[in-house]
């Protein structure tokens, strides 16, 4: 674990050093859980968004996009349940004055018991060697059975308390488990209180009677309230979907792990409206399609898993998360939910407007059911960054840090470098840049030794480096160096465009989704 922590720290500092992610307001010592994307980060982020947007809107003729406002009528959040129920249970330690999420403290306690089990298994594996039957050991070893019983009882008690929103019981669990504050080391806890995660602000001047509005905590509601606008003006027929990418805001109590949990972040959400009764088939379809989308990036199929929800929100009839193996464990990157007709019905009720869809094939009106796919851009960014980072030991004792970014997502697609800064090589290199730049993000670099220039590009994940040398002036060929293999091939300038395009276009990813 400590080794993983070190790797994660290195990734965070690499992200800053190479212009991917900066702490927000850094010269004022930062703003907690808010980050800025730098010159390379914004390109990587835009490419992730483009891949998602095209996979939704180009590949599905029944999905269209919108861009709704961040501010919305406050009653929307009453209807959606966010005003009353979008809460986290918080608890303070009186000695350290630190604030925690009560549920997270308990989850961490459960994770400790899981760790204990894994340690026992690892010890036994070492002791018994080849003859070790892990399944049998887990089932029969008295020590493991004891820890597992303790863990399951705790989990059951915790789930019940969360389901009942029983704050006293959450506190009691923390007391009974003797959970201490990691800072003060004491058990001097306050009561547990509900804390609403929405940011509130005022709209209009106070003289006019200002209205309290919220920064949206999800983009989905902007889709629901525009359902009929899009359906009517786009002449859409159920089943159809509406996609949106945009900022969302949550006043997270515990904001940790870099850009994994932020207070201002970005979501890519799609609501797919279907006939009642067909939703579970569509849920399955979207569950599979979304995993395929992730896997097409080639980050490693073993890095993903579904986490099907056993306990569902009262309005949902199926839900799963796509989790990705981050350096700090498997974590949710995307949620896929079958939300029944809850949201549209609530908006009908609160707005007093008819939001029914007339189905010409059935000759009847109904409130459609909805399958939602919801992915965080920043979490996706983090998963791509973490799985791409490698410190490589090279032959001859040399080292390099390389980002094996999927080529279509890389911020810079190719770098053109004159071998030396004289003999007309820079002019020739500029000529190549001036041609490629219309189709690819292209860097020109003539500073430092060629080795150093390659390392700089490796560190930001540039898939190709093109080197112009004296031979180029004679026969219009260059060397094309591939980032991962570091192999160099001599190619004609006339072929560069095609060679690069075949590897770096978003199109090449989209074709894998057929
Ligand atoms: N409309 C459904 C919805 O918002 P969610 O599970 O709360 O569902 C969806 O959020 C996705 O948004 C998550 O899977 C995650 O990728 C991202 N997300 C949620 N909270 C986040 C935060 N504080 N920071 C970064 N990403 C977040």
Q: Residues 6, 377, 322, 57: is their CA dihedral positive or negative?
A: negative
Q: How far apart are the first and last CA of the chain?
A: 39
- Residue 109 CB–ligand 1 contact under 6 Å: no
Q: Is the CB of 279 under 6 A from ligand 1?
A: no
Give distance in angstroms: CA of 197 to centre of ligand 1. 12
The CB-based long-range contact list for 177-184 (8 Å cut-off, 24+ gap) reads: 177/106, 177/109, 179/105, 179/106, 179/109, 181/93, 181/95, 181/96, 181/98, 181/100, 183/93, 183/96, 183/98, 184/93, 184/95, 184/96, 184/98
* Residues 444, 179: Cα–Cα separation, whole Å: 56
**Counting atoms of ligand 1 from 1, which one is nearest the CA of 377?**
16
Tell whether the torsion through CA atoms of 427, 430, 435 and 436 is positive or negative.
positive
- Ligand 1 centroid–CA 381 distance in Å is 13
State in Å: Cα 35 to ligand 1 middle: 16
Name the class of domain 406-513. alpha beta
pLDDT at 314: 81
pLDDT, residue 1, reads 57
CA 246 – ligand 1 centroid, Å = 12
Q: Where are the beta strands (DSSP E) in 163-253?
A: 193-196, 200-203, 211-214, 240-249
33 lines ligand 1 (CB under 6 A): no
Nearest to 463 by CA among 403, 383, 390: 403
Please indicate whether residue 371, judged by its CB atom, sits closer than 6 Å to ligand 1. no
CA of 11 to the centre of ligand 1 (A): 22
Q: Is the CB of 469 under 6 A from ligand 1?
A: no
Whether the bond into 400 is cis, omega within 30 of 0: no
Give the distance (Å) from ligand 1 centre to CA of residue 121.
Answer: 34
* Closest residue to atom 16 of ligand 1, CA basis: 376
Domain boundaries, the chain: 91-196, 406-513
Could you tell me the distance, in angstroms and rounded to a whole number, from the CA of residue 33 to the centre of ligand 1?
14
Say how far apart CA 83 and CA 80 lie, in whole Å.
8
- Evaluate: CB of 500 within 6 angstroms of ligand 1: no
Beta-bridged to residue 82, according to DSSP, are none
Which pLDDT belongs to residue 2?
A: 62
CA–CA separation, 407 and 442 (whole Å): 13
Distance 269 CA to ligand 1 centre (A): 10
User: Are 496 and 481 contacting, i.e. CB atoms less than 8 angstroms apart?
Assistant: no
Which secondary-structure segment (H or E) carries 107? helix 102-128
- The single residue listed with the structure tokens 């998963």 is 383
Q: Which of 379, 382, 385 to mutate to test the pocket of ligand 1 (most atoms within 8 A of CB)?
A: 379
What residue owns the CA closest to ligand 1's atom 19? Answer: 376
Distance (Å, whole) CA 77 – CA 87: 13
Residue 247 Cα, ligand 1 centroid: separation in angstroms? Answer: 11
CA nearest ligand 1 atom 17, residue: 376
Q: What is the pTM of this model?
A: 0.91
Strand (E) positions, 117-274? Answer: 193-196, 200-203, 211-214, 240-249, 264-274
Long-range contacts of 176-182 (CB under 8 A, 24+ apart): 177/106, 177/109, 179/105, 179/106, 179/109, 181/93, 181/95, 181/96, 181/98, 181/100
Q: Which atom of ligand 1 is nearest the CA belonging to 380?
A: 16
Alpha helices in 262-416 (DSSP H): 279-295, 342-351, 377-388
Q: What is the pLDDT of residue 207?
A: 65
- Contact indicator for 418, 426 with CB cutoff of 8 Å: yes
pLDDT tens, residue order, the chain (514 aa):
567 778 999 999 999 999 999 999 999 999 999 999 999 999 999 999 999 999 999 999 999 999 999 999 999 999 999 999 899 999 999 999 999 999 999 999 999 999 999 999 999 999 998 888 999 999 999 999 999 999 999 999 999 998 888 999 999 999 999 999 999 999 999 999 999 999 999 998 766 678 899 999 999 999 999 999 999 999 999 999 999 999 999 999 877 789 999 999 999 999 999 999 999 999 999 999 999 999 999 999 999 999 998 778 888 999 999 999 999 999 999 999 999 999 999 999 999 999 999 999 999 999 999 999 999 999 999 999 999 999 999 888 889 999 999 999 999 999 999 999 999 999 999 999 999 999 999 999 999 999 999 999 999 999 999 999 999 999 999 999 999 999 999 999 999 999 999 999 999 999 999 8
Closest Cα to atom 6, ligand 1: which residue?
Answer: 335
Cβ-in-10-Å burial (0-12, 13-18, 19+) of 408 comes to buried
Q: How many whole angstroms from 245 Cα to the centroid of ligand 1?
A: 12
Q: Is the CB of 373 under 6 A from ligand 1?
A: no
Q: How far is the CA of 161 from the centre of ligand 1 (A)?
A: 23
Read off φ and ψ for residue 270, nearest 5 degrees: -140, 125
Nearest one of 305, 298, 243 to 513, comparing CA atoms: 298
Tokens coding 335: 């949620």
Distance between CA atoms of 107 and 481, rounded to whole angstroms? Answer: 48
Strand order from edge to edge, sheet including 304-308: 63-66, 240-249, 264-274, 369-376, 329-338, 318-326, 304-308
Whether 167 is in the pocket of ligand 1, judged by its Cβ within 6 Å, is no
What is the rounded distance in angstroms from the CA atom of residue 139 to the CA atom of residue 314?
34
Q: Decide whether any atom of ligand 1 lies within 6 Å of the 88 Cβ.
A: no
Q: Of 5, 10, 40, 11, nearest to 386 (Cα)?
A: 11
Judge if the beta carbon of residue 332 lies within 6 A of ligand 1.
yes
Kindly report the CA angle at 244 between 241 and 245, in degrees rounded to 5? Answer: 150
């Amino acid at each position: 674990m400590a080794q993983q922590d070190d790797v994660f720290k290195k990734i965070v500092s690499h992200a800053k050093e190479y212009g991917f992610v900066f702490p927000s307001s850094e010269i004022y010592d930062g703003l907690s859980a808010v980050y800025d994307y730098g010159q390379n980060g914004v390109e990587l982020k835009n490419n992730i968004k483009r891949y998602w947007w095209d996979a939704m809107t180009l590949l599905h003729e029944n999905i269209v996009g919108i861009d709704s406002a961040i501010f919305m009528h406050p009653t929307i959040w009453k209807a959606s349940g966010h005003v009353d129920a979008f809460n986290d249970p918080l608890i303070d330690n009186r000695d350290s004055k630190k604030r925690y999420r009560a549920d997270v403290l308990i989850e961490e306690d459960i994770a400790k018991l899981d760790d204990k089990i894994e340690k026992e298994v690892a010890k036994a594996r070492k002791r018994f060697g080849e003859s070790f039957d892990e399944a049998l050991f887990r089932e029969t070893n008295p020590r493991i059975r004891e820890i597992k019983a303790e863990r399951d009882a705790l989990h059951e008690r915790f789930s019940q308390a969360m389901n009942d929103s029983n704050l006293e019981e959450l506190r009691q669990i923390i007391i009974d488990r003797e959970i201490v504050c990691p800072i003060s080391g004491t058990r001097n806890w306050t009561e547990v209180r509900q804390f609403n995660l929405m940011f509130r602000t005022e709209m209009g001047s106070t003289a006019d009677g200002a209205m309290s509005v919220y920064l949206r905590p999800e983009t989905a509601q902007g889709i629901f309230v525009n359902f009929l606008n899009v359906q009517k003006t786009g002449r859409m027929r159920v089943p159809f979907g509406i996609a949106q990418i945009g900022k969302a805001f949550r006043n997270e109590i515990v904001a940790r792990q870099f850009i994994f949990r932020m207070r201002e972040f970005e979501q890519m959400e799609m609501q797919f409206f279907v006939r009642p009764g067909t939703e579970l088939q569509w849920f399955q379809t979207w569950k599979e399609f979304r995993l395929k989308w992730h896997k097409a990036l080639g980050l490693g199929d073993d890095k993903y898993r579904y986490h099907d929800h056993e306990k569902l929100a009262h309005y949902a009839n199926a839900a799963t998360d796509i989790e990705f193996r981050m350096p700090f464990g498997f974590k949710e990157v995307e949620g896929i939910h079958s939300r029944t007709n809850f949201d549209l019905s609530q908006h009908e009720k609160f707005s007093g407007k008819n939001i029914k869809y007339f189905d010409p094939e059935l000759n009847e009106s109904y409130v459609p059911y909805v399958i939602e796919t919801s992915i965080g851009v920043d979490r996706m960014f983090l998963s791509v960054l973490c799985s791409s980072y490698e410190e490589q030991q090279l032959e001859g004792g040399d080292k390099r840090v390389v980002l094996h970014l999927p080529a279509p997502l890389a911020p810079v697609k190719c770098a053109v470098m004159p071998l030396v800064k004289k003999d007309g090589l820079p002019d020739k290199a500029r000529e190549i840049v001036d041609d490629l730049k219309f189709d690819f993000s292209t860097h020109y670099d003539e500073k430092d030794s060629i080795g150093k220039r390659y390392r700089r590009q490796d560190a930001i994940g540039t898939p190709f480096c093109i080197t112009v040398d004296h031979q180029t002036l004679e026969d219009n060929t260059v060397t094309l160096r591939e980032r991962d293999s570091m192999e160099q091939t001599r190619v004609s300038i006339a072929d560069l465009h095609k060679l690069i395009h075949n590897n770096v276009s978003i199109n090449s990813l989209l074709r894998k989704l057929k």
